[in-house]
Structure 1
Amino acid sequence: MSDRRRDERISAILALLSRRGELQVRFLPGTLGVSGATVRRDLAVMEGTGLVRRSYGKITAARRGAELPVSLRNAQNTEAKRRIGALASSLIPCRPLVVALSGGSTLGFVARSLAARSDLTVVTNGLDTATSLMERQLVQVVVTGGTARSLSRDLVGKGAEKSLRSYRFDFAIVGADGVSPEAGVTRHSARGAEIDRIMLGQAERRIVVADSTKLGQVRQAKVVDTGSVHTLVTDSHANAAIVAALRGAGVTTTTVFVPTRPVGGPPWTP
């Protein structure tokens, strides 16, 4: 089995754990449509990386609400992120512009959609974002300096902050680990939050992309108040009351339609 399929199964298990708190291991092969041996290997990986605890035929989340490795985030809500990325990229007008993009799994899809543009200069602290932008060798890509975070594959610290402050951006697009009408846009990492705050502060137009699972969540590091955001792009599974509250706060909130996919079902094709 490929690493991608394994990450999709691990993400499905984490999604189930987030709703149920604990799971009986014996039910996972049928739920995921794989053999018991495959499930045991997946759980060994999850236990080894500190994602779950196993005891007496059950598993519980060991790091509930913690930041996940980017490889696992890439396997979560893929279709929603693809559609969000396509819509967010369409908000960038077709003319010479300087755009800031952060790192993260949803920004990877924004970058793929922008990769065919020859009229853009994009400044990013995201290593995966930069790779996606360079696929067609058309976008002029500037990567900040800084210290690499292996968990998220982005650059943070004084070098990245100094680089970003030397630019004025026409648009900035950043991701989020939490979006709340009351608490604002938040991140797991304080250093990552500081980078996003600078990107948004240096931009004329400020866009946040976040799939529906991030709405209503509050993480430890605040980026900005929601009132500082011009546009939020999310998906159709977003909580309607939260969307209404964000719109009431003056945030242009756009939802892209995403059909329901059962947990453990076949993966979407991005």
Structure 2
Amino acid sequence: MRSNDDLWVSGDVHVSPRYLAGLPGHADPSFAPVAHWPHHHLDVGPCQLVITSPDHRIRIGWFGDDYDTWLISAAEDSVSAPRWTARINQNTPPEIVEGLTRALAAEWDEDSDSFLTSRSVYWTDAVQPLLDAGWERKPLSRGLVEIVSPDGRAGASIDVVSAGSDAETVTLWAGPPGWGTRAEATFTARTPKHLIAATAAALADPTPVLRYKGVLDEDLARLARLTPSCRPGPPRRPAGSPARR
């Protein structure tokens, strides 16, 4: 069995900034923090894998080649409707998703509900890691506040007007618009802000990530900085084949 550390060392180029790296062509680090949680492999339907906390209050659904690849939620108990939901699409580097799954794994306990309730009422706390990294806050426009990276290729959109519990109020994004290039992680209104912040911190993390150059999206590769690693890459992936495990 591969160790969690092995998930981070596959590739022949270092990609920076990491939010332009897209999916790897190897094992997915987003699952490393919850590798010890129950895994439920599904044979029918678009959801191929559900990982749950031992009490089933936290659910991490993996949808393979669907556009929304991850659907992560938390509920009051194993049979209640989700209190909050995060939708994360197929272009999002799993190292960024790992920021959320690691926070959930660290907080879960049978007697804990910190992953259900927010510690703050201030929307800024959800994106504080981006502000701390020097990302620019744009003026309020049509109920949205935008936080944008210095290169203009990543950011956060915060809806400060919508009040419904299921309203999608925070979206972290990266990459140019387009089905194959724009990464998005969208959180509903009751998502604890410290969990969004954990994801935002992974988005802004300056540490490069490893990828095989042959499976990088060409549009993203042109925008990113690629530095060769000491590892040779695998044969180039045939056009149209999925970059999956």
TM-score normalised to the size of structure 2?
0.27
Q: Which has the larger radius of gyration?
A: 1
Greater share of residues in helix: 1
Identify the structure with bigger relative contact order (alpha carbons < 8 Å, sequence gap 6+): 2
